[in-house]
């Protein structure tokens, strides 16, 4: 994958800080309906940091004291407590706790001494992941667990930004990218419902959510040798093109950064290593036709992303995108209707 001058920077910036094996296994296991909550305890036992820190949470200390008092002499009390905590919390809360421990680890805020307090705060630490998961569940959208994982990419990247003392500009760009991705994800999900016999429907929401994430990295690693001094100055340059600012945004990205934001997004997904299918679709979301002969379902996923982006920007479909619609057997009037409904909602 040719990704220009950013590839080396990204490797140095992201690679040492992406989720470790325990968090990745936890996400995979918690999304698997066959896996029971107690199986997650087994997973924690493979890494004692997680097994012990789950038992360290301030929130559970009074309850744990009661359990210990029941049978103080029991030698395997640590394992019993872990099993009971996981059963008590259930799969989702256990997953959240594990992920938050991973984020504490990344931020260097794990307890260093016996007397240090240890609290998990999922509502703050994994805000993006919980927002999209709650949205999917409240609106009966399928595959909320995949949406959660996609949202977690934003939370993790936010923690990396904080750790690396990245500029406020980048943190704002991350929030803006999430807002854009969230909007795009809802559109992409609606589009995917018009496509019949689609194998990758479970990746649509997460792929669309992640499409803009690369913009925040462009901002974080903004090259100092460019004409515009910062990412926000670059955006301001694009705004000067008024009616064609989106086209200018796409063209100037290639010209100035030697890479486009969705290619960078694909790289982020690649380094996180959890959503491999999404990575390919995002990478080809501007040119889905490259996938046409190789993998027809991946082509359809990338085409949905391409169309969702256009609808999110409130632009008419291009001739190429009309071809995608024909390939996907989506009637043009249905997309027009969607577009009108979106305008009405606005």
Partner 1 sequence: MATHLITSACTRCDACAAVCPTASISFGATQYVIDQDTCTGCEICVTVCPVDVIVPTPRQQPE
- Minimum Å gap between C-beta 182 and partner 1 is 29
- Minimum Å gap between C-beta 335 and partner 1 is 44
From the list 48-56, 192-200, 215-223, 275-283, the region that binds partner 1 by CB under 8 A is 48-56
Q: Is 227 exposed, middle or buried (CB count within 10 Å of its CB: 0-12, 13-18, 19+)?
A: exposed
**Nearer of residues 23 and 278 to partner 1, judged by Cβ:** 23
203/105 Cα distance (integer angstroms): 29
Spatial neighbors of 245 by CB under 8 A, at least 6 apart, are: 238, 239
Single residue of 5, 46, 229, 244 touching partner 1 by CB under 8 A: 46
Under a CB-based contact definition with an 8 Å cutoff, are residues 282 and 184 in contact?
no
Which of 270, 236, 268 has its CA nearest to residue 252? 236
Q: Count interface residues toward partner 1 (CB under 8 A).
A: 23
Please count the other Cβ atoms lying within 10 Å of the Cβ belonging to residue 189: 22
- Minimum Å gap between C-beta 114 and partner 1 is 6
Site for partner 1 in 52-91 (CB under 8 A): 52-53, 55-56, 78, 81
Q: b vs e for 313-341, b when ≥16 Cβ sit within 10 Å of the residue's Cβ?
A: eeeebeeebeebbebbebeeeebeebbee
**Nearer of residues 18 and 187 to partner 1, judged by Cβ:** 18
214/174 Cα distance (integer angstroms): 9
Q: b vs e for 259-285, b when ≥16 Cβ sit within 10 Å of the residue's Cβ?
A: bbbbbbbbbbbbbbebbebbbbbbbbb
Which of 27, 26, 62 has its CA nearest to residue 42? 26
Single residue of 22, 96, 166, 306 touching partner 1 by CB under 8 A: 22
From the list 1-9, 14-22, 233-241, 279-287, the region that binds partner 1 by CB under 8 A is 14-22
250/245 Cα distance (integer angstroms): 9
- Minimum Å gap between C-beta 125 and partner 1 is 16
**Nearer of residues 82 and 147 to partner 1, judged by Cβ:** 82
Single residue of 2, 76, 114, 319 touching partner 1 by CB under 8 A: 114
Single residue of 1, 8, 12, 21 touching partner 1 by CB under 8 A: 21
Q: Which helix (H) or strand (E) holds 127?
A: helix 127-138
- Contact flag: residue 111 with partner 1 (CB under 8 A): yes
List Cα–Cα distances, 235 to 209, 228, 240, 267, 268, in angstroms. 21, 9, 9, 22, 21
What angle (nearest 5°) sits at the alpha carbon of residue 19, between those of residues 3 and 205? Answer: 70
Single residue of 29, 44, 47, 155 touching partner 1 by CB under 8 A: 47
**Nearer of residues 4 and 78 to partner 1, judged by Cβ:** 78
Single residue of 23, 89, 191, 208 touching partner 1 by CB under 8 A: 23
From the list 20-28, 31-39, 249-257, 265-273, the region that binds partner 1 by CB under 8 A is 20-28
- Contact flag: residue 230 with partner 1 (CB under 8 A): no
- Contact flag: residue 113 with partner 1 (CB under 8 A): yes
**Nearer of residues 54 and 136 to partner 1, judged by Cβ:** 54
**Nearer of residues 71 and 114 to partner 1, judged by Cβ:** 114
For residue 274, what is the DSSP state? S
- Contact flag: residue 119 with partner 1 (CB under 8 A): no
- Contact flag: residue 116 with partner 1 (CB under 8 A): yes
The 3-state DSSP class for residue 117 equals coil
Interface with partner 1 (CB under 8 A): 20-23, 46-49, 51-53, 55-56, 78, 81, 105, 108, 110-114, 116
């Amino acid at each position: 994958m040719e990704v220009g001058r950013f590839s080396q920077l990204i490797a140095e910036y992201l690679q040492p800080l992406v989720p470790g094996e325990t968090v990745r296994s936890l996400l995979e296991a918690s999304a698997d309906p066959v896996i029971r909550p107690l199986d997650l305890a087994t997973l924690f036992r493979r890494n004692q940091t997680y097994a012990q820190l789950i038992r360290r949470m301030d929130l559970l200390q009074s309850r744990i004291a009661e359990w210990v008092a029941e049978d103080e002499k029991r030698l395997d009390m640590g394992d019993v407590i872990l099993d009971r905590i996981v059963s008590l919390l259930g799969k989702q809360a256990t997953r959240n706790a594990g992920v938050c421990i991973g984020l504490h680890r990344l931020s260097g805020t794990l307890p260093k001494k016996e007397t240090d307090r240890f609290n998990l705060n999922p509502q703050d630490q994994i805000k993006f992941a919980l927002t999209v998961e709650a949205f999917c569940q409240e609106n009966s959208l399928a595959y909320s667990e995949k949406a959660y994982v996609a949202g977690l990419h934003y939370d993790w990247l936010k923690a990396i930004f904080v750790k690396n003392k990245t500029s406020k500009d980048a943190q704002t760009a991350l929030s803006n990218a999430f807002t854009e991705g969230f909007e795009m994800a809802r559109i992409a999900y609606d589009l995917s419902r018009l496509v019949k016999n689609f194998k990758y429907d479970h990746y649509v929401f997460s792929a669309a959510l992640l499409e803009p994430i690369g913009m925040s990295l462009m901002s974080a690693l903004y090259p100092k040798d460019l004409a515009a001094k910062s990412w926000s100055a670059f955006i301001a340059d694009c705004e000067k093109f008024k009616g064609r600012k989106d086209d200018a945004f796409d063209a100037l990205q290639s010209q100035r950064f030697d890479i486009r934001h969705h290619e960078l997004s694909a790289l982020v997904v690649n380094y996180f290593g959890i959503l491999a299918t999404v990575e390919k679709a995002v990478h080809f979301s501007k040119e889905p036709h490259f996938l046409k002969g190789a993998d027809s379902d991946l082509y359809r996923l990338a085409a949905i992303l391409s169309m969702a982006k256009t609808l999110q920007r409130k632009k008419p479909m291009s001739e190429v995108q009309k071809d995608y619609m024909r390939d996907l057997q989506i009637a043009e009037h249905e997309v027009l209707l969607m577009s009108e409904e979106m305008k009405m909602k606005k």
